[in-house]
Amino acid sequence: PYEVLVVGGGPAGAAAAIYSARKGIRTALVAERFGGQVMDTVGIENFISVPYTEGPKLVASLEQHVKEYDIDVITEQSAAKLATNGLVEIELESGATLRSKSVILATGARWREMNVPGEQEYRGKGVAYCPHCDGPLFKGKRVAVIGGGNSGIEAAIDLAGIVEHVTVLEFSDTLRADEVLQRKARSLPNVKIIRNAATTQVRGDGNKVVGLTYTDRASGESADVDVAGIFVQIGLIPNTDWLKDSDVNLTRFGEIEIDARGATSVPGVFAAGDVTTVPFKQIVISMGAGATASLAAFDHLIRTSAP
Ligand code: FAD
């Protein structure tokens, strides 16, 4: 068996695998796609100490760093099941089973999409999912935020300090965000909130976003909003469907519950990054969390393994 098996090859998984391999213990990393969400990212300006990089370039460096070590990297394989039986067993969709004394879950998350025409075409060309990442790109411009939950209203407040104007579009007739956030948003002169608005289309000029179209669900009428950016804030879905039948505790949102050391409810099973209850989801945070989970797994191993 392995001593540490990392599931996931994004920033959290890569950091966890490197930290484990540097302890000289048998380490493997299994992932559907090396690089995770970073592979889908265009410009990255908040990876501290690197003023500007691009997703595929950062992934290439991650991969190169992982390859410096003796790590069994298994890609294009999906974990389908987790069971414990003295060891932790990860069953893959291919039917194979990997066994390890400890496991680090780093399967990440994905943004819920609107599924309207233009969204895919203008992804990274005005359609954005992360205000912390892309907010500054729209300095002085008009933007829209889709979603009136906590993340949507937080995004609107955050963006209002950077951009010229923010229009929030909420599908239902009420905002789901905490009252304190709603009050703050309503107090800002450059934030407008539209309820009952079903976004139907992202409009672009062939190169970049120029606006969106929505249907007013009360009147049935269609309207346009001219914006340079559209921040989609309708949910971040953790990749944990495959863990639903395991003993790993998940929150009602499907996030893996971890403690400050990255430990889950199952001894020997740790987790890191966007798939967990970590409060903020960023590359630099995921890497730190991967390192934490890896060091905690090592600590677990030296306390539980026979000398
Ligand atoms: P992920 O990157 O999601 O990686 C998950 C890994 O697990 C992948 O390798 C995946 O293939 C694998 N996996 C999933 N399910 C399974 C399974 N069942 N079996 C095996 N493998 C599995 N953050 C920033 O800090 N700055 C930015 O500028 C920035 N821009 C972004 C732009 C976009 C468009 C997106 C989508 C995200 C952006 N982020 C940015 C967020 C950042 O990408 C994430 O916080 C970070 O990638 C999370 O790392 P992770 O390792 O936890 O998960």
pLDDT, tens digit, 9 for 90 and up, residues 109-144: 999 999 999 999 999 999 999 999 999 999 999 999
**How high is the pLDDT of residue 134?**
94
pLDDT of 189 strictly over 90? yes
Q: Which atom of ligand 1 is nearest to the CA of 79?
A: 19
Task: Report H helices in the chain.
Answer: 11-21, 55-67, 131-134, 150-160, 179-187, 283-304
Q: Which residues of 45-82 are buried (b: 16+ CB within 10 A; e: fewer)?
A: eebeeeeebebeebbeebeeebeeeebebeeebebeeb
Q: CA–CA separation, 58 vs 56, rounded Å? A: 6
Q: Which atom of ligand 1 is nearest to the CA of 46?
A: 26
Q: Which atom of ligand 1 is nearest to the CA of 47?
A: 25
Q: Is 18 marked as binding a ligand?
A: yes
Q: CA–CA separation, 128 vs 235, rounded Å? A: 13
**How high is the pLDDT of residue 40?**
87
Q: Which atom of ligand 1 is nearest to the CA of 78?
A: 19
63: left (phi over 0), alpha (psi -120 to 50) or beta: alpha
Mean pLDDT computed over every residue of the chain? 97
Q: Is 197 marked as binding a ligand?
A: no
Q: Is the CB of 123 under 6 A from ligand 1?
A: no
**How high is the pLDDT of residue 305?**
80
How far is the centre of ligand 1, averaged over its atoms, from the C-alpha of 304 (Å)? 31
% of residues, the chain, pLDDT over 90: 98
How far is the centre of ligand 1, averaged over its atoms, from the C-alpha of 144 (Å)? 24
Q: Is 7 marked as binding a ligand?
A: yes
Does the structure's ipTM exceed the value 0.95? yes
pTM summary value: 0.92
The secondary structure of residue 48, as a DSSP letter, is T
How far is the centre of ligand 1, averaged over its atoms, from the C-alpha of 66 (Å)? 17
pLDDT of 306 strictly over 80? no
**How high is the pLDDT of residue 144?**
98
Q: Give the CA distances from residue 30 to residues 96, 101, 123, 141, 224, in Å, rounded to whole numbers and listed in that order.
A: 12, 15, 28, 42, 45
**How high is the pLDDT of residue 186?**
97
pLDDT of 307 strictly over 90? no
Indicate the top mutation candidate among 6, 29, 37, 256 to test ligand 1's pocket, ranked by most ligand atoms within 8 A of CB: 37
**How high is the pLDDT of residue 264?**
98
Q: Give the CA distances from residue 15 to residues 6, 185, 285, 289, 293, in Å, rounded to whole numbers and listed in that order.
A: 10, 37, 11, 8, 9
Decide: residue 106, CB within 10 A, 0-12 exposed, 13-18 middle, 19+ buried.
buried
pLDDT of 42 strictly over 90? no
Q: Is the CB of 122 under 6 A from ligand 1?
A: no
Strands 165-169 and 269-271: unpaired
